[in-house]
Structure 1
Amino acid sequence: PDCLHINPEGCNFCQKCGSKLRLVERYYAKSILGQGGFGRTFLAVDDFKPSKPPCVIKQFLPQAQGTATLEKAAQLFDQEAQRLELLGKHSQIPELLAYFTADNRQYLIQEFIEGDTLQQELDNQGAFSENQISSLLKDLLPVLYFVHKHKVIHRDIKPENIIRRASDNKLVLVDFGASKQVQRTSMSVTGTVIGSAAYCAPEQAMGKPQYGSDLYSLGVTCLYLLTQASPSDLYDPLEAQWVWREHLNGNHVSDKLGEILDRLVETVFKKRYQSVAEVWAHLRRYYGKQTNPTNPQPVIQETVKQTPNTTPPAVPQKFKFDIV
């Protein structure tokens, strides 16, 4: 954990510091994927399985000072593990493989998702088209519904936290380190401000995240992908309005999609979409099959990982999802 020396393949001990290279004699870190204020993320392999599949090691390694700050960080890391175990049942959320303490440090082992983030796609391919944005919404809304159904607010939806899985081109929502478990008594209680400022809803910036805060972040993500302009440039604080249409640079966006995006990023909470189901109702009306008059509710079909001897929780009939 304190030495980042690169060792040749096949070594059991670090040639520089002498430490064991396998975490709990099983997980072998290959390279660093990222590092933040509270930990490092490594690409690793699981030596306990014959195929030695890739996995991700998340190491709690706080840089912050102060007992209260460290305790809060440790609590968030522990909560992330609990949420991943719960939410990882969805096929488009990484599965939690293990969570433990080794040498007085916390670690969690997570499913590795091979593919590019939407930020990488934007850098490589340029601005997204309307069809790409509508497909993005169709793909992610069922995932977000699943998250909210389990009373979790992600709080950090942005292009870097959405990966297009190489195996099937499905979008995978990652990094639940900032997510918050919602308690009935805490929805209006001011809490810790967590999330990326550029994508953060006003109420979340004041420490009061709601389910609609994730919808706001998703909307800002779409605007950024359409324009390639920083979210801070897409909003005019003097006029208190979004000016994203001025940054399209010839990229056509229909009034129908524009209406959806405008309501997703509505700064006044009560004017914004209040649920995933509301967004899907409009998306289905504009891009999908016509809603059945006898069943006007949007229908969201969740895809849950199938495991032996495990029956996924039942999904309410009114939320079955029929994607076109």
Structure 2
Amino acid sequence: MGTEGEGVRVVAGRYRLETRLGRGGMGVVWRATDELLGRQVAVKELPFDDTLSDEEARQRRERTLREARAVAQLRHPHIIVVHDVVEDDGRPYIVMELIDGGSLADRISARGPVDADEAARIGIGLLSALRTAHAAGVLHRDIKPANVLMEAGSDRVVLTDFGIAQVAGATTLTETGSFVGSPEYTAPERMSGARTGPESDLWSLGALLCTVLSGESPFRRDSLGGILHAVVFDEIRPPVQAEPLLPVVRGLLERDPERRLGAAQAEHMLRAFRDLGRTPQPSLYTPTQRNVPRPP
């Protein structure tokens, strides 16, 4: 059982929750202290919702545990580190490394868009992280600025919140007929209900690059229906600020996933831009060069 008092709650007899860092659809994240090891950590708590049926509550709990399992198997400097998974009073908590500095969305909101060199640096880090995740059979499925952390001091880019990840060999837990994710960053094949692979994460990264360069997603509209139409049908118009990285952005925002730019080549092109000041056009490559197996 957790303990409370003087505004402090301790879960699993070890993690003292201190300050709420953020809240999203998949839970509340707290700054906490690991009282056993004496270190600061981040703890993600699945909030209790008494409107859910027992089956829905079970699915939410298993989805949270799946996030921990998915991320715990990954080792990469640009992917959040999971330290522990505990249960307290029937509720799961994920214990992660604490990243001070806020999200990429916070940074854009406070300081505005970034220049092309910084966007390329962010993209390189995220592409490298996705290559590792995809090679392990893990699809993130919710790449967006709010799920990218920027470490203060080092400006390390860290991909987090694998709450709706799809893992090879695991049962899909998304409820039938429902949609999870962020529509402005969701690939058209997912919108259409088609089976998706690593390419869907790369579409999301293309939309993210447009956002960090201009301040908003190119698919932002006044309604959900408008967003869906923009993603699936409207002419794709990258912002003018994306011009220096246009070959990468257009390649990632290719509606046909079979023709979409692969992670390895996109990373190579962004590195070339940072080294040479210009972005090369995509070269011909075979599907095997993607190095990203499609989960079953």
Aligned to 1:39: 27
Aligned to 1:5: none
Q: Which amino acid aligns with 1:53?
A: R
* Counterpart check, 1:214 vs 2:204: no
The verdict on how the C-alpha distance between 1:216 and 1:84 changes in structure 2, with shifts beyond 3 A counting, is same
Q: CA deviation at 1:65?
A: 1.6
The verdict on how the C-alpha distance between 1:76 and 1:185 changes in structure 2, with shifts beyond 3 A counting, is closer
* Counterpart check, 1:131 vs 2:117: yes
Query: What's the CA shift string for 1:101-149, capped at 9, x where partnerless?
Result: 2222211211111113111221222121111111112222211111111
Mapped contact 2:19–2:31 kept (Cα < 8 A): yes
Aligned to 2:294: none
Q: How many residues align?
A: 269
Q: Which amino acid aligns with 1:129?
A: D
* Counterpart check, 1:229 vs 2:216: yes
Q: Percent identity?
A: 25
The verdict on how the C-alpha distance between 1:230 and 1:279 changes in structure 2, with shifts beyond 3 A counting, is closer
Aligned to 1:178: 164
The verdict on how the C-alpha distance between 1:153 and 1:243 changes in structure 2, with shifts beyond 3 A counting, is same
Q: CA deviation at 1:278?
A: 2.7
* Counterpart check, 1:163 vs 2:154: no
Mapped contact 2:120–2:271 kept (Cα < 8 A): no
Mapped contact 2:185–2:208 kept (Cα < 8 A): yes
Partners of 2:98 and 2:267 in 1: CA distance: 29
* Counterpart check, 1:116 vs 2:102: yes
Q: Which amino acid aligns with 1:92?
A: H
Equivalent residues in 2 for 1:16-31 (5 A)?
A: 21-31=9-19
* Counterpart check, 1:253 vs 2:239: no
Q: Which amino acid aligns with 1:137?
A: G
Q: Which amino acid aligns with 2:235?
A: Q
1:14 pairs with 2, 5, 26, which one?
5
Q: The residue matched to 1:231 in structure 2 has which SS? A: coil
Partners of 2:159 and 2:46 in 1: CA distance: 21
Mapped contact 1:60–1:105 kept (Cα < 8 A): yes
Query: What's the CA shift string for 1:62-110, capped at 9, x where partnerless?
Result: 43522332222122111111112112x2222222221122222211211
Partners of 2:65 and 2:205 in 1: CA distance: 26
Q: Which amino acid aligns with 2:263?
A: V
Q: Which amino acid aligns with 1:280?
A: E
Mapped contact 2:140–2:165 kept (Cα < 8 A): yes
Aligned to 1:65: 52
Aligned to 2:66: 79
Partners of 2:170 and 2:55 in 1: CA distance: 25
Q: Which amino acid aligns with 2:234?
A: A
More helix by share: 2
Aligned to 1:95: 81
Q: The residue matched to 1:21 in structure 2 has which SS? A: strand
1:277 pairs with 258, 264, 274, which one?
264
Mapped contact 1:81–1:108 kept (Cα < 8 A): yes
Mapped contact 1:191–1:208 kept (Cα < 8 A): no
Q: The residue matched to 2:73 in structure 1 has which SS? A: helix
Q: Which amino acid aligns with 1:211?
A: P
Q: Which has the greater radius of gyration? A: 1
Partners of 2:268 and 2:146 in 1: CA distance: 27
Aligned to 2:237: 243
Q: CA deviation at 1:167?
A: 4.1
Q: The residue matched to 1:272 in structure 2 has which SS? A: coil
* Counterpart check, 1:266 vs 2:254: yes
Query: What's the CA shift string for 1:261-312, capped at 9, x where partnerless?
Result: 0111122222212x312323433454448xxxxxx999xxxxxxxxxxxxxx
Partners of 2:203 and 2:58 in 1: CA distance: 30
TM-score with structure 1 length normalisation?
0.73
The verdict on how the C-alpha distance between 1:105 and 1:233 changes in structure 2, with shifts beyond 3 A counting, is closer
TM-score with structure 2 length normalisation?
0.79
Unaligned runs of 5+ in 1: 3-11, 290-295, 299-317, 320-324
Unaligned runs of 5+ in 2: 222-226, 277-282, 292-296
Mapped contact 2:21–2:31 kept (Cα < 8 A): yes
Q: Which amino acid aligns with 1:83?
A: A
Aligned to 1:145: 131
